[in-house]
Structure 1
Amino acid sequence: MRQRHIMSSVDNCFPPASRDDWVAAVEKMLRNASVDSLRRHDEDGLIIDALYDGGSAQLAGDMATSVRRLSQDPAQRVAFGWDVRQPLHISGDVKAINQCIIDDVEQGATSLWLRADKDEQIDFGRLFDGIMLPAVGVHLDSGASTYQLVDRFIAHIDGDISKANLHAGLDPFVAEGDADPDVILAAGFALANRAATQIPTSIFAVNGWHWHNKGVTAVNELAIILSSVTDIMRRAMEAGIAPATIAALIEVTIALPADLYAGLAKCRAVRHGWAGIVAALGLDPDQYRLRLHAAPSLRMFSLLDQDVNILRSTTALLGGALGNADALTGFAHDILTGESVRGRRLARMTQLLMIEESGIAKAIDPAGGSGFIEARADDLAKAAWATFQTLESQGGASSCYKDNVFADLAREGQAKANARLVTGDAKFLGVTLQPDMVPVADIVTGGWGADGALIVRPAQIIEDFRRKALARQPRIICLLPSGTMDQPLQSLKKDSDQLCAIGGLSVITLVVGDDTARDIRAAKPDVVIYIGNTLEAIADLRADMSALMPDIIFVAAADITGESSLIDALDLLLGKQTDA
């Protein structure tokens, strides 16, 4: 009989290795280059190293509270998983929307994130027909007018909040920028002063997700959240509401990037900040844990190769799951063009697979002890706390909101994100990396991604160029030198092809030869790209063609692939000269 080899405890162990051993091993693989050569920086300039020491995190200074890793109700999360919160834009055919809600709930959604346009008149009776409201969480979101939507919902349930699992969703500092914080705060405090059985499950929803989609970086998103929470707490105390009461009625929403580790660190970092605030108010952070909702970023979505949005959402949701979020929202990958039933179901099933088959929710703190995650969370928490202190010195959230400090942070972040894409520092799968030639679809009017002021997507820069290129349809020839191309020229050709693919530009390839002039005359191109560092090798051809066809633009591949601006290079291929 064949015997199985069972590894002994000695066979199953790795020999101990010091940090120096690891550094030596890495530098050997790098052919003696320093391990620091692998160091990179995130969008806030925070360092991301290749090697980290193990151990638990210790925050210092104003953040001298123990690290908070737990969800608000760990036992509930372990037993049943997180709240699968389905997003839905309320507009149009109420009967169709009602059917969507029924399908969502029957197929795994445990709560609803209902987004309504300002002044949208909703027939709640028809909207929730066939839905047992106490069994399904209802989270309302209508920007600055959410408090009015809440009033209409409460009227629908005859003023008896016990008939529903209501999350009021009031954000005094909404990203739309048109709110009156005083009015929204007053509406929230009025709800908090109701009888105990008539208080919503949560009242205030501090929504960093909306600010992220307007452009703010991770550090500034968390700082805005902490400043907003502090202002709500401060104003509640002035209104005679105890910190313990209002702390239990606040929910925070953060955006999850495609980088799952960045999202995981963000979940932990925002809890660090929350712990610092509630501890300063004399509350035990372990007793008043943060209710955390997380949703994939929509500013990372693209109209180009929309299936890639599935990958982005999946890794983003995984970061939130491993970060112990209490609730997660998944968006359909085709939400920008009018979400399909398949897209909605796929986004929801991704979470259910994580809960039911992967068992992620069964682990209390799956990332605990990882040197990388602990350090990243610490760095992010410290930076966010420092920026939060700066906002406090400027008067706090109310003043910063009214003085457009938050809006300025969004504009600055948007400009930096756009610059990273244009300069090529940020790689965007399906957009600037491995792009396809499929025409750009149109964004639906209405819906989550329709408002370009609220969802500012860097990919739109390339999408807009693609539309411009489609309208103009320039004729482009790629002219190869005769003979065998060496490796540098092959790389130039590859980079040139990649640039044209990014712009959605079709190219005809020719090789320099006796009939090149005739072929160019027949093709009548707008632009000729010569695969070389200069145009010197085709000087005679260029002179002849310029005499016959003066509008042709000749450009060396090295000049366009070496452009500091991706858009400047693409504009040149449309037949436009750059300003440089």
Structure 2
Amino acid sequence: MKNIEFAKPSYAAWQGEALKALKGKPFESLLTKTNEGITIEPLYTQEQLIEKMGAELEQQVSTIRSFQQTATFQLAQQLYAETSEAFFAQLENGLQRGNEVITIDSRVSFDWTEDVLTKLSAYLLNHPFKLMVTNASDPLLKVFDVLKEEQCQIVKGFIVAQEAISYDHLPNVRSIGADTTVYHYEGANAVQELAYALALAAKEATKLQDFEAFTKKFYVSFAVDTQFFTEIAKLRAFKVLWKAFTSAYGVSTTMRVPIVAETSLRSFSKLDSYVNLLRAGNEALAAFIGGIDVLTVHPHDILTQPTEQSVRIARNVSLVLTEETTISKVKDPAGGAYFIESLTADLVKAAWALFLEIEAAGGFDVYTASGQLTQEVEAVHQARLQAVQTRKHSLIGTNIYANPADVLTQATNPLYSHMKRVAEPFEQLRAEMTAAQVKTAILTAGTFKNAKPRVDFVTGFLHTVGLVPEHSVPMETVGEAIAWLQSVQANYVVIAGNDEDTKAMLDAILAAKPAHILVDVAGKFKEQEAQWQAQGLNGFIFAGQNIIEKLTNVLVRVKEVQ
């Protein structure tokens, strides 16, 4: 076997085989367009990458590796507690079990009293920290007033706030940040996040005369979403962009900036919440490969109320990555991968162009005040919602493979209630359907074999909002179908069969259906649509349809009939 050599196929040969497999579909059907407007190819080759980037490829790889501060990242597990006693117990337990960065959101349910701050200050002296505060007057920041002058010189960490906070007496505390998570949760894509990070850096850099002093206080914060390869490329692209940014200020040496990351909640759902474990694991792995310095993994039940167990599981996600994956043994593990390098270059180009556009408009504040930023981010958010609601993008446990037995909790973690999540419309509609006590059924038209594909599709469609339909036995005659429809205890019925059986039975069924039952048909029937709706048919259920729009209409019509 060692002596066997295989001929290397050319891209043209592969493309020819792909066209055969497509059976008449155009090759372009294999291309994928991302939310960033970047087209993903089905295959990437070394020749294509060299042709695309040339000498820039080596520069890109070397730049990214020169900005890699460490081979791994620091664990920054966030603390959740109702009382100060529970807070310190969780803090101590986390540090003993692998947590490295004390991570605190100041919006807690207990008061930051002098005793609590004094006790906390002892921990901050011995461990790096990440403090998330509302503004410079946040009571949590009084912890630094407790410290002596010499102690202020040694504490290390990050202060995350909407506006930069100046702390000259804390030389090792980075308090000037480009926090892109704010825009991420409004819907921003990777290109926008990267451009906004540079624009925020430019805004803050102009306030200080010494650019080197600015970089010592600066950091960037990203939320890492479930788009695995895009997120890896996003983090790598920032390093290339930062090199270009510092060069614009006349800096020729490598001036590193820490990347503080957290797993994104944008794709998290209250429905089938354990799937959030998979999402967080996916996001954490992308962040690690992308080369972050500090990582917070959110618990799977963070949208409601994290528990001691869920916090432990989230912390263990980071521990498994650092201790068991061996990724830390490779510097820039994604470096040289044809797809990742190409995608990184595309993000760099697009983000730099948007950054220059923002600067030309007058800078970040002017750009934001004009409404342009809000408008472009909202457009991406709406496109993302549309993709999920039409199942072009799968959200397991929510828009596909939903579990209707899931009890949708009304509990909400106030710290994260403002974030825009793509699962939220499904959660809201499920709650409304439950409150309205909508009863559904599926009438199987024709033989079970012929009807099964559409029966299964409709069942899954209804499950997304918690509806559990009653299934009829296969109805092969109109008389059977009418008798069942007149006796069923449901206010919404979907007729599911193949095209031939549906056309043969529907006219008679509509003529005899009870007035209190809303009837839909599975499938598209363009020729019969107007005629059937004139006879009393409500509408149709089919693949590619907007689930939320369709079932919201059903809910409204059911209420009208009731």
TM tier relative to shorter chain: 0.7 to 0.9
Secondary structure, counterpart of 1:248 in structure 2? helix
Counterparts of 1:149 and 1:71 in 2: how far apart (Å)?
A: 38
1:94-493 alignment runs, 5 A limit = 94-117=84-107, 121-123=111-113, 125-126=115-116, 129=119, 132-143=123-134, 145-146=135-136, 148-149=138-139, 151-158=141-148, 160-162=151-153, 164-172=155-163, 184=164, 187-188=165-166, 191-192=167-168, 194=169, 198-237=170-209, 242-284=210-252, 286=254, 288-437=255-404, 438-447=406-415, 449-450=416-417, 452=418, 455-483=419-447, 485-486=449-450, 489-493=451-455
The answer (yes or no) to whether the contact 1:331–1:347 under 8 Å persists in 2 is yes
- Structure scoring higher RCO (CA < 8 A, sep ≥ 6) equals 1
Amino acid aligned to 1:69 = I
Amino acid aligned to 1:457 = R
How far residue 537 of structure 1 moved from its aligned partner, in angstroms, is 1.3
The answer (yes or no) to whether the contact 2:118–2:143 under 8 Å persists in 1 is no
Query: Which residue of 549, 555, 558 maps to 1:568?
Result: 549
How far residue 24 of structure 1 moved from its aligned partner, in angstroms, is 3.6
Query: Which residue of 525, 532, 550 maps to 2:515?
Result: 550
Counterparts of 2:503 and 2:26 in 1: how far apart (Å)?
A: 39
Counterparts of 2:173 and 2:54 in 1: how far apart (Å)?
A: 32
1:35-74 alignment runs, 5 A limit = 35-54=27-46, 55=49, 58=53, 68-70=63-65, 72=67, 74=69
User: Given the superposition, is the C-alpha separation of residues 466 and 119 from structure 1 closer, same or farther in structure 2, using an over 3 Å criterion?
Assistant: closer
User: Given the superposition, is the C-alpha separation of residues 535 and 29 from structure 1 closer, same or farther in structure 2, using an over 3 Å criterion?
Assistant: closer
The answer (yes or no) to whether the contact 1:493–1:531 under 8 Å persists in 2 is yes
Counterparts of 1:541 and 1:35 in 2: how far apart (Å)?
A: 44
1:496 aligns with 2:468: no
Counterparts of 2:115 and 2:326 in 1: how far apart (Å)?
A: 37
The answer (yes or no) to whether the contact 2:269–2:423 under 8 Å persists in 1 is yes
Counterparts of 1:70 and 1:331 in 2: how far apart (Å)?
A: 28
User: Given the superposition, is the C-alpha separation of residues 33 and 411 from structure 1 closer, same or farther in structure 2, using an over 3 Å criterion?
Assistant: closer
Counterparts of 2:68 and 2:483 in 1: how far apart (Å)?
A: 75
1:23-38 alignment runs, 5 A limit = 23-31=15-23, 35-38=27-30
How far residue 333 of structure 1 moved from its aligned partner, in angstroms, is 0.6
Secondary structure, counterpart of 1:68 in structure 2? helix
Amino acid aligned to 2:263 = P
> Counterpart in 2 of 1:176?
none
The unaligned stretches of length 5 or more in structure 1 are 1-6, 173-183
State the TM-score, normalizing by the size of structure 2: 0.87
Counterparts of 2:61 and 2:457 in 1: how far apart (Å)?
A: 50
Give % identity: 21
- Deviation string for 1:230-268 (max 9, x for gaps)? 11112212xxxx111111221111121112211110111
> Counterpart in 1 of 2:471?
509
Counterparts of 2:486 and 2:311 in 1: how far apart (Å)?
A: 52
> Counterpart in 1 of 2:530?
none
The unaligned stretches of length 5 or more in structure 2 are 524-539
> Counterpart in 1 of 2:528?
none
Counterparts of 1:345 and 1:551 in 2: how far apart (Å)?
A: 52
Counterparts of 2:460 and 2:267 in 1: how far apart (Å)?
A: 21
Counterparts of 1:501 and 1:59 in 2: how far apart (Å)?
A: 51
> Counterpart in 2 of 1:179?
none
Secondary structure, counterpart of 1:336 in structure 2? coil
Secondary structure, counterpart of 1:140 in structure 2? strand
How far residue 506 of structure 1 moved from its aligned partner, in angstroms, is 1.3
Secondary structure, counterpart of 2:78 in structure 1? strand
Counterparts of 1:341 and 1:105 in 2: how far apart (Å)?
A: 14
How far residue 21 of structure 1 moved from its aligned partner, in angstroms, is 3.7
User: Given the superposition, is the C-alpha separation of residues 262 and 153 from structure 1 closer, same or farther in structure 2, using an over 3 Å criterion?
Assistant: same
1:538 aligns with 2:538: no
Counterparts of 2:369 and 2:269 in 1: how far apart (Å)?
A: 32
Amino acid aligned to 2:425 = I
How far residue 392 of structure 1 moved from its aligned partner, in angstroms, is 0.8
Of the structure 1 ranges 530-539 and 338-347, higher mean CA displacement relative to structure 2 is found in: 530-539
User: Given the superposition, is the C-alpha separation of residues 575 and 394 from structure 1 closer, same or farther in structure 2, using an over 3 Å criterion?
Assistant: closer
The answer (yes or no) to whether the contact 2:426–2:464 under 8 Å persists in 1 is yes
The answer (yes or no) to whether the contact 1:114–1:139 under 8 Å persists in 2 is yes
